[in-house]
Copies of this chain bind each other. A is one copy, B any other.
Amino acid sequence: MRFIHTADWHLGRVFHNASLLEDQQHILDQLILTVEQRQPDALIVAGDVYDKAIPSEGAIRLLEDFIQQVGGALNVPLIMISGNHDSGARLSFASGLLAKASVHIVGKAELETRPIILTDEHGEVYFYPLPYLSPLAARSLYRDADIKTHQDVIRRQIDCINAEHPTDKRKVLIMHEFVGGAEESDSERQLTVGGASQIDAGILRDFDYVAMGHLHRPQATGGDHIRYSGSLLKYSFSEVHHHKGVTEVVLDGDGFAECLSVPLQPLRNMRIVRGRLEEIVQQARLDACSDDYICAELLDEGALYEPMRRLQEVYPNTLEIKYVVQSSPQGISGDKSFHELHKQDVTELFDEFYRHVCAEPLNDPQRQFVKTIVEQLEQTDH
């Protein structure tokens, strides 16, 4: 049994006012190509398919095309759960009929988690999809006020699964949660405020594989067979060093055998460029990937004239500028009283301000120029 595990598509995501639909279309096309080439036995999407509970029509079209290609044309079984960004009811429209075409979209948690059973030469594999379920919703579903944390929810669901699962069959869990010890990024929406959202990986170990969504960095946590595939694309500048793609998982007759990262090539990469504005603009002319999404970390000291416009001339998709220059060690007369300031020479005061902004003192002609102006003003004043 060989299946592809992906998650956190966030279709319809807008990043710094830029729609990513075109990038998402490109990466889904790559994924379809990957499925076509590698012919897996199934494709798993572990939640956050859409970025919003009410997705845009553009986002709906992307998903529609994808399931038409993979579920329809390529005839690869698809198992998809909702994440905390999705509306389960909206995502899983017509899921009853779609399941007949081996497209299993599980949006709504039910008391009993029905497995989707696929077979290979070693027998059956039970895939248990757990659509995202908050502790609040779980209390209502199970009529149990003692369910307080995400750990309580998942433990309850796993208990129900284990009560029914034939022990000689392999089992795969699909869920959208935050497992303790894993590394977060800036683009995930917190499941709860505080620490009650973490799951202890210990309760997941019995599964032959746990296909997780929520965290955007591909990673294993608590065991090589408990994995986040990571998001399809970089969704924040904190993710520039992630290697995005999908995970191919192999089960043999005894369960987990191995897994492999399959990289996907985005239409535009997301990068941080660092340096003085002039250097960045100069080097950009030699940069073949000038369409990438850029965060510029500027090392310039002092004020710059229209830096965003100048960057966008060379990197049209510059989305963010950060100034990483340190404040000068001494402030502007920060520790002087108003009375002292009042006594200070005005040209000297201006020189101090100039040094703060431009990190160098006035040169002689500048100093002379300022001095002349100050004298003229003082004459007018008295």
Contact = CB atoms under 8 A, between A and B. Distances in A.
Interface in A67-124: 67-68, 71-72, 87, 89-90, 93-98, 100-101, 103
Nearest to A100: B101
A123 to B, nearest CB: 28
Interface stretch (A54-62, A133-141, A145-153, A328-336): A54-62
Contacts of A279: none
Nearest to A55: B90
Q: How many copies does the complex hold?
A: 2
Contacts of A101: 97, 100-101
A168 interface: no
Contacts of A63: 93
Given A57-B87, A87-B57, A101-B101, A93 B93 contact: yes
Nearest to A68: B96
A340 interface: no
B103 A64 contact: no
Nearest to A97: B101
A98 B68 CA distance: 10
Nearest to A71: B97
A226 to B, nearest CB: 31
Interface residues of A, number: 22
A57 B71 CA distance: 25
A198 to B, nearest CB: 29
Contacts of A60: 89-90, 93
A98 B96 CA distance: 10
B61 A97 contact: no
Nearest to A87: B57
Contacts of A93: 60, 63-64, 93-94
Contacts of A68: 94, 96-97
A71 B95 CA distance: 12
Contacts of A103: 94, 97
A229 to B, nearest CB: 23
A103 B98 CA distance: 11
Nearest to A95: B64
A2 to B, nearest CB: 24
Contacts of A89: 57, 60-61
A72 B97 CA distance: 6
Contacts of A100: 72, 100-101
25 contacts: A54-B54, A57-B87, A57-B90, A60-B89, A60-B90, A63-B93, A64-B93, A64-B96, A67-B97, A68-B96, A68-B97, A71-B97, A72-B96, A72-B97, A72-B100, A93-B93, A94-B94, A94-B98, A94-B103, A97-B98, A97-B101, A98-B98, A100-B100, A100-B101, A101-B101
